[in-house]
Structure 1
Amino acid sequence: MLNSDWLRMTDGYSGSDLPSLAKDAALGPIRELPPEQVRNVDVSQVRDISFYDFMDSLQKIGSSVGLQTLDLLVCWNREFGDVSAGSMF
């Protein structure tokens, strides 16, 4: 998967949405363990985070900022913001 693919799939995600996505993906391997095993599990018994954990999290964790809000922020930035930051949107 290319960086451009990740950019496309997370388009509209805010700076706080991305850590939420990563944290949810990181919990993927833990969710597979029986509840009674979670507290005392040895790290070596937990599988690594995979691409599929991120794909699963993308289905659950959506953007918290709507397109209308993003449009308002872009307009505000054009009028009042730092002109060098305009290329971000």
Structure 2
Amino acid sequence: MTLLADDLTKLQALKVEAELISALGTIDTAGILLNSVVPTDRRKSARSSIIVPSGVEEKAQLGLTLLKEAVLRSLCACQSTG
């Protein structure tokens, strides 16, 4: 492991992580990084009146990944039992 940066704010750390993911890719996209959640600091909603807490998008990505894995396991179990 190599230390790339130290004493970063949360926003700076998210930007560095996003740049690394962009440059190296994740396992899911045939890259080398093991991240299961891709950080984002941009709001995709056009409605500025909605307040979304920090980290919600990443938690949603992780939740969707867990649901996907559960559905796939369930389907595999159903197929193996007939």
Q: Specify which structure has the bigger relative contact order, considering alpha-carbon pairs within 8 angstroms and separated by 6 or more residues.
A: 1
Larger radius of gyration: 1
Using structure 1 for the length normalisation, give the TM-score.
0.26
